[in-house]
Structure 1
Amino acid sequence: MAVVKYPSLGFTSRVTPMAPAEQQEDGYPLPFVAKAFACSADIAAQVVRRGRLRHFGDRAIILRQGDWLTLAYLLISGRAQALLYGADGQIILLHDFRSGDLFGAIGEIDSVRQDADVVALDPVETFVLEAAELARLAEQHGAIGLALSRMLMARLRQMTGRIYERAALSAVGRVYAELLREARRAPDLRISPAPILSELALRVATTRETASRAVNALDRRGIIRRDAYSLTVVAPHRLEALII
């Protein structure tokens, strides 16, 4: 395991070198790759043979802004964020990445320049393969090409939604919209673990203090219920009415 130091950021990350994916027990990560690309096991096996697994520690920098890339990363577990930094040090969230998301060089034949830092929020496991290989597989198999199109369209919708919310909603309204969006990912409207206020504020481009006041106001009005481990939206229609 290699130790990578980032003195300017104040932390040290441990990065596990890439290991052949096909050597994992029980065919892992073949089932995950088949699900991510909505393809058959035979096609997924072709993808897996061309890639590697790579692990990153909590808060590790997976990709750096400005680096030249030839690799595509499929996020298997954990969470990551693509971040930009303003001239005044302001951090701007470009993308949230969760299990099943793809980032890096996606389908390009030539190397491309990375447009943002990608930072792990948790210990992260990724499946990595050459972007040119991914492009060739997409040409050969319609399922992979269609899956890539769907992934890119989902990312475009996410970006469009964020741009609209920043232009049309108040800071508090953006906090409420993000909480409702997160809650609706679960059938019981329960966000677990409970959102970290600093991360919530970053996702909606506001301050931690504003996010804290907004969440506390919902708690006092009985619209959400919090405990040590989770946050549950108990009145989603009331919360939706507050998104202005």
Structure 2
Amino acid sequence: MDIADRLAALESFFACSPAEAGKLSDAMAFVTYHHKDILAHQGDVGAKLWLVLEGRAQLQIIGIDGQTKLLAAHGPGELFGAFPHERLVISDVVVQNRLSVLEITTAKMTALLQEEARIGSGLSKILGRQYNAVLDRMAARITLTANGRIYAELLHEAGDDGRISPPPVIAALALTAQTTRETGSRAINALERRGIIRRDDEQLEIISKSLLEELVV
């Protein structure tokens, strides 16, 4: 990502001025992580924040039954990590596919917020959107079938253009939807057979968004 794209992304995410985006950019490092990289382990002392530009990170915990459970997932435009102070990490932070982020220490972000009120306002909007997304996922876990949760996650990850590139890892998608890899695989295969989605090594494309939306039950 070149500096112009980086500044444009920060202006958009934080709804701030070019000068304020410049201050954020100077304080943040652009980092790319690979599939299954671990940004933090449960029990570590967290002292960083990550702003997602591309890809997805999952916060995974081990349940009392010994199975891996998804606590949360963060995609483009979302912020996660230790804030407003350093704190113990309550889950493993695991990369899904690949992940490009802007990384900043908690201390630097806190200092910036004290200097620039508009950055703080933008941050509150980001966190507000994430709060609503968490509530949506909680509601889906209660009200939707396993297949319905898979399809809802596809719609969420694909966004307005209906594409996910690279295509989602089925095991990770199933974990996000709180179901098994086998269930996720059957659900995706059923969509392919019906021509609702198309996927290859480069991307997954939703061919009929309306038909997919009808299956979110």
- Counterpart-to-counterpart distance in 1, 2:213 and 2:31: 40
Write the mapping of 1:1-244 to structure 2, written as runs, cut at 5 A: 29-106=6-83, 108=84, 110-183=85-158, 185-187=159-161, 189-244=162-217
Measured on the aligned residues, the alpha-carbon RMSD in Å equals 2.7
SS in 1 for 2:179: coil
User: Could you tell me whether the CA contact under 8 Å between 2:53 and 2:100 is conserved in 1?
Assistant: yes
TM-aligned CA deviation for residue 136 of structure 1: 3.2
Taking structure 1 as reference, are residues 175 and 99 closer, same or farther at Cα in structure 2, changes over 3 Å only?
Answer: closer
How many percent identity over aligned positions? Answer: 37
Q: Larger C-alpha radius of gyration, 1 or 2? A: 1
Q: Which amino acid in 1 is paired with 2:133?
A: Q
Q: TM-score, normalised by structure 2?
A: 0.84
- Relative to total residues, which structure has the larger helix share, 1 or 2? 2
- Counterpart-to-counterpart distance in 1, 2:215 and 2:173: 17
- Counterpart-to-counterpart distance in 2, 1:77 and 1:199: 16
5+ long unaligned stretches in structure 2: none
- Counterpart-to-counterpart distance in 2, 1:126 and 1:228: 23
1:5-53 Cα offsets, whole Å, 9 max, x none, are xxxxxxxxxxxxxxxxxxx985785444334322222222333344444
SS in 2 for 1:218: helix
- Counterpart-to-counterpart distance in 2, 1:125 and 1:235: 29
1:112-135 Cα offsets, whole Å, 9 max, x none, are 121211112345443333323322
Taking structure 1 as reference, are residues 48 and 175 closer, same or farther at Cα in structure 2, changes over 3 Å only?
Answer: closer
Q: TM-score, normalised by structure 1?
A: 0.76
TM-aligned CA deviation for residue 66 of structure 1: 1.9
TM-aligned CA deviation for residue 164 of structure 1: 0.6
1:76-130 Cα offsets, whole Å, 9 max, x none, are 4443221111133322222222333221112x2x421212111123454433333
1:174-216 Cα offsets, whole Å, 9 max, x none, are 1122223333x143x2333333221221110111111122222
Q: Which amino acid in 2 is paired with 1:176?
A: Y
Equivalenced residues, count: 217
- Counterpart-to-counterpart distance in 1, 2:41 and 2:98: 17
